[in-house]
């Protein structure tokens, strides 16, 4: 009986710390003062990945697409084309290496996620992190 009680207490403590860690792992993304739903983001290795089609890049004036044949994410406007291949760390701008991320583009469930900072900076935007508020702010370069 005592062993079962200890096991239950340890299990509860582990579940509590996992929940706490998960809650502290949330980040909030703001573009032009507008926040984007956290359900469009995941945190991996302390890096934020965003669903390529969540509307964030469209808000910045870009069109997003996914090439299923080449497994390539494409974000473009009239001035730039930024691309990356699934399971790769390199992000290209107009065909040249622009950014090497420390997390790769990936498919989670049926959704495609891309490194937020790498794509935003490759498109020419500034990405800032407010650790206290856990906010990611995307803004025009100074």
Q: Are strands 28-31 and 135-140 parallel, antiparallel or unpaired?
A: parallel
pLDDT at position 26? 64
Query: Could you read off the pLDDT of 35-64 as tens digits, one per residue?
Result: 887 788 998 888 999 999 998 999 889 999
pLDDT at position 131? 85
113 versus 140: the higher-pLDDT residue is 113
Which residue, 95, 53, 46, 103, is CA-closest to 73? 53
DSSP bridge partners of 70: none
Q: What is the DSSP string of 74-138?
A: EEE-SS-EEEEETT--EEEETTEEEEE-SS--EEETTEEEEEHHHHHHHTTEEEEEETTTTEEEE
Query: Given a cut of 90, is residue 65 above it in pLDDT?
Result: yes
Q: What is the dihedral of CA 58, 139, 73, 22, to 10 degrees?
A: -100
Which residue, 32, 71, 31, 70, is CA-closest to 54? 31
Query: Could you read off the pLDDT of 85-134 as tens digits, one per residue?
Result: 999 999 999 999 999 999 999 999 999 999 999 999 999 999 998 888 88
pLDDT at position 46? 87
83 versus 25: the higher-pLDDT residue is 83
67 versus 27: the higher-pLDDT residue is 67
Query: Could you read off the pLDDT of 14-39 as tens digits, one per residue?
Result: 333 222 233 455 677 888 778 887 78
């Amino acid at each position: 009986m005592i062993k079962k009680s200890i096991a239950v207490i340890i299990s509860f403590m582990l579940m509590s710390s996992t929940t706490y860690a998960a809650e502290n792992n949330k980040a909030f993304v703001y573009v032009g003062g507008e926040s984007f739903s956290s359900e469009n983001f995941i945190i991996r290795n302390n890096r934020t990945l965003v669903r390529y089609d969540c509307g964030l890049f469209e808000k910045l004036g870009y069109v997003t697409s996914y090439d299923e044949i080449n497994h390539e994410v494409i974000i473009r406007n009239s001035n730039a084309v930024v691309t990356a291949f699934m399971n790769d760390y390199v992000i290209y701008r107009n065909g040249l290496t622009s950014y090497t991320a420390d997390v790769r583009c990936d498919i989670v469930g049926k959704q495609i996620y891309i490194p937020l900072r790498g794509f935003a900076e490759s498109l020419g935007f500034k990405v800032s992190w407010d650790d206290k508020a856990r906010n990611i702010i995307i803004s025009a370069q100074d």
